[in-house]
């Protein structure tokens, strides 16, 4: 008998129905991954399975009993949840946060025991966070913060783990480490794992079973070979996909097709300002993260910055966006130093989508997007027809018309991310800086966003600089890739020249095959292992053809 199952679940928030009459059985001792479009109910289902959301109909059964009839401490000793976009209280260190995972095992007013301390130490080591245990959580990079939350969940030491987007914000090496950790916990300790993932390739590589959800219902479930097929992926996401077979291992690898043809006869915009970064040192609290960095981010091109967590990518973008003052050196936009002049004038030239932005409470989607027009308004001239037209265009471009009056707090992570992207678009600037814009987005939404970015660049001449962890998307869409490590620029150039096996070894400490997409000619990274770990077969060769199944 399965320890965890749901029967005829109906779930929602306020007036919004999200999940409809859903029944599912979670196999014991297996890794089950839930995939599907943004807003289909993946995270909502996970919250119901762990008793954070009360069903409107149906029930969740844990060990044969209704989970809502069990004591809270009892549930917390059996189920551990890594939630999406968790926010820690201010002032906590990493060790403090991880220690909170031990609360279900402690009595009232009972201090931490030696068993608790050992569990915290083990969780920190498993998440590769021991060296950062005394760092404040709010000083960490996005990837480091995600690993701290993973460590807290591991410290709970539950036989069933529910992980909502566990690889969000993680670089290639840490993604591999986390998925290998999940496999090890399942294989060596027999833990049952349920994950929500947007990365189809991670799901195929890691899972025993995949559940495909759409519109609040289960569309299909089965093994990776049964689910990761072009026809089903098209039904699920509404986008055509090629499914490749690795020439050496046979491992399935999905590559979504672009929804728009690339513009022909394109030339970089001569009138758009580019960035000049000249010998910049920048950081936080007197500690330099960027170390004497110099780089040109050309006018009117699409530049993607890649690199490991905490290498300085976001710091570089924040310095270019004037959210950080450089300790030394200078950043120019066109001919003008970025840190001179008014903030309002700069906000008419560039828009910045920051990582992990938090919306004011009580805002609906339209309210948030309208904030993008503030730099264009004056004290006595607040809202104009031009503002309305621009906001409507931003809503349309991000496919948010049916969500415009929804409270932001009721949205999925991907829907909320699209609202933030729409705000940046509503600012209507010649330059866009986007920090991990594809975070939380489903397969189709990622392609739609990057097609939109390329269209803004090719058809409207806007300069775009973005940070991406997905090297395959970076290779497909970038004119120029800037690769960073440890606060320094290690390579700049076209994707095929920068994304190589040697670069992945040196910068990400990952062994990978570099294949070629037969449709686009772009490099395709197939990760094999973190150096020093045994995650897969030996590398095949530098380039190879792909066997392709198409819809």
Domain ranges of the chain: 4-87+158-228
Of 92-101, 409-418, 469-478, the poorest mean pLDDT is in 409-418
Which residues neighbour 187 within 8 Å (Cβ) at sequence distance 6 or greater?
none
Q: What three-state secondary structure class fits 461?
A: coil
Per the listing, tokens 């308004």 go with 377
Pairing relationship of beta strands 275-284 and 328-333 according to DSSP bridges: antiparallel
Distances (CA, A) of 284 to 141, 340, 497, 500: 12, 20, 32, 32
Task: Give the predicted TM-score (pTM) of the model.
Answer: 0.85
pLDDT above 60 for 539 = no
pLDDT digits (tens, 9 = 90+) for 367-379: 999 999 999 987 6
Token pair of 297, please?
């981010």
Is residue 110 pLDDT above 60, yes or no?
A: yes
Per-residue pLDDT at 269: 57
Cα–Cα distance measured from residue 456 to residue 464, given in angstroms and rounded to the nearest whole number: 9
By percentage, how much of the chain surpasses pLDDT 90? 68
Mean pLDDT of the 426-446 span: 92
For residue 404, which of 443, 436, 368 has the smallest C-alpha distance? 368
* 63-67, 112-116, 166-170, 439-443 — most confident range: 63-67
Arithmetic mean of pLDDT, 154-165: 94
User: Which SS3 state, helix, strand or coil, does residue 132 take?
Assistant: helix
State the residue for tokens 């590589």.
205
Q: Provide the CATH number for the domain formed by 4-87+158-228 in this structure.
A: 3.40.50.300
How far apart (Å, rounded) are the C-alpha atoms in residues 116 and 306? 38
- CA–CA gap between residue 106 and residue 110 (Å, rounded): 6
Provide the pLDDT confidence category of residue 540 given band limits of 50, 70 and 90. Answer: very low
Select from 464, 451, 550 the least CA-distant residue to 243. Answer: 550
For residue 195, pLDDT over 70 is answered with yes
Contacts of 481 (CB under 8 A, 6+ apart): 303, 304, 305, 306, 474, 475, 491, 492, 493, 494, 495, 498, 499
Stretch 513-524: mean pLDDT: 90
**How confident is residue 262, by pLDDT bands cut at 50, 70 and 90?**
low
Average pLDDT over residues 76-91: 84
The Cα 224–Cα 203 span in angstroms is 8
**pLDDT at 380 (0 to 100):** 65
Question: What is the per-residue pLDDT across 24-36, written as a single tens digit (0 to 9) for each?
Answer: 999 999 999 999 9
For residues 322 and 324, what is the distance between their CA atoms, to the nearest angstrom? 5
**What's the CA gap between 487 and 474, in Å, rounded?**
20
Q: Checking phi first, is residue 8 left (phi over 0); if not, alpha (psi -120 to 50) or beta? A: left
DSSP one-letter string for 245-307: E-TTT--EEEEEPPSSPPPSS----SSS--EEEEEEEEEETTEEEEEEEEEEE-TT-EEEEE-
Determine the average pLDDT of the residues in 289-310: 94
Residue range 298-303: mean pLDDT, rounded? 91
């Amino acid at each position: 008998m399965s320890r965890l199952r749901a029967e005829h679940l109906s779930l929602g928030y306020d007036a919004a129905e999200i999940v409809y009459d859903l029944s599912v059985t979670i196999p014991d001792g297996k890794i089950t991954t839930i995939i599907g479009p943004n807003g289909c109910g993946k995270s909502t289902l996970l919250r119901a399975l762990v008793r954070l959301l009360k069903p409107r109909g149906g029930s969740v059964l844990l060990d044969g009993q209704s989970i809502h009839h069990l004591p809270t401490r009892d549930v917390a000793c059996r189920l551990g949840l890594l939630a999406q976009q968790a926010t820690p209280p201010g002032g906590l260190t990493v060790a403090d946060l991880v220690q909170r995972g031990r609360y279900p095992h402690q009595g009232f007013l009972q201090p931490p025991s030696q068993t608790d301390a050992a569990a915290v130490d083990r969780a920190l080591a498993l998440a590769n966070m021991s060296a950062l245990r005394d760092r404040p959580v709010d000083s960490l990079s996005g990837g480091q913060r995600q690993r701290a939350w993973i460590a807290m969940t591991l410290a709970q030491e539950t036989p069933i783990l529910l992980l909502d987007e566990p690889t969000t914000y993680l670089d290639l090496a840490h993604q591999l480490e986390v998925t290998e950790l999940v496999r090890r916990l399942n294989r060596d300790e027999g833990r049952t794992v349920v994950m929500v993932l947007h990365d189809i390739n991670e799901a195929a590589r890691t899972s025993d079973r995949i559940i495909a959800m759409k519109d609040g219902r289960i569309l299909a479930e089965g093994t990776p070979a049964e689910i990761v097929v072009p026809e089903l992926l098209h039904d699920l996401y509404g986008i055509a996909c090629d499914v490749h077979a690795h020439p050496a291992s046979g491992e399935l690898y999905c590559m979504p097709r672009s929804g728009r043809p690339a513009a022909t006869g394109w030339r970089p915009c001569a009138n758009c300002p580019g960035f000049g970064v000249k010998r910049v040192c920048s950081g936080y609290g007197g500690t330099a993260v960027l170390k004497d960095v110099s780089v040109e981010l050309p006018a009117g091109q699409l530049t993607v910055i890649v690199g490991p967590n905490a290498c300085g990518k976001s710091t570089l973008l924040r310095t270019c966006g004037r959210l950080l003052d450089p300790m030394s050196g200078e950043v120019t936009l066109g001919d003008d130093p970025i840190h001179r002049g008014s903030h309002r004038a700069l906000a008419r030239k560039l828009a910045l989508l920051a990582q992990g932005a938090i919306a004011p409470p009580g805002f609906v989607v339209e309210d948030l997007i309208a904030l993008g027009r503030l730099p264009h308004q004056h004290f006595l001239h607040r809202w104009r027809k031009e503002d309305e037209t621009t906001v409507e265009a931003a809503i349309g471009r991000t496919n948010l018309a049916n969500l415009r009056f929804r409270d932001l707090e009721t949205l999925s992570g991907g829907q909320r991310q699209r609202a933030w992207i729409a705000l940046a678009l509503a600012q209507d600037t010649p330059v866009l800086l986007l920090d991990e814009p594809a975070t939380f987005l489903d397969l189709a939404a990622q392609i739609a966003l990057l097609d939109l970015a390329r269209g803004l660049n090719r058809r409207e001449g806007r300069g775009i600089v973005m940070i991406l962890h997905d090297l395959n998307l970076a290779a497909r869409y970038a004119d120029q890739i800037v690769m960073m490590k440890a606060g320094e620029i290690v390579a700049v150039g076209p994707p095929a020249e920068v994304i190589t096996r040697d670069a992945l070894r040196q910068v990400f400490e990952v062994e990978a095959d570099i294949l070629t997409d037969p449709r686009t000619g772009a490099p395709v990274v197939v990760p094999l292992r973190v150096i020093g770990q045994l995650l897969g077969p030996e590398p095949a060769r530098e380039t190879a053809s792909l066997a392709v199944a198409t819809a």
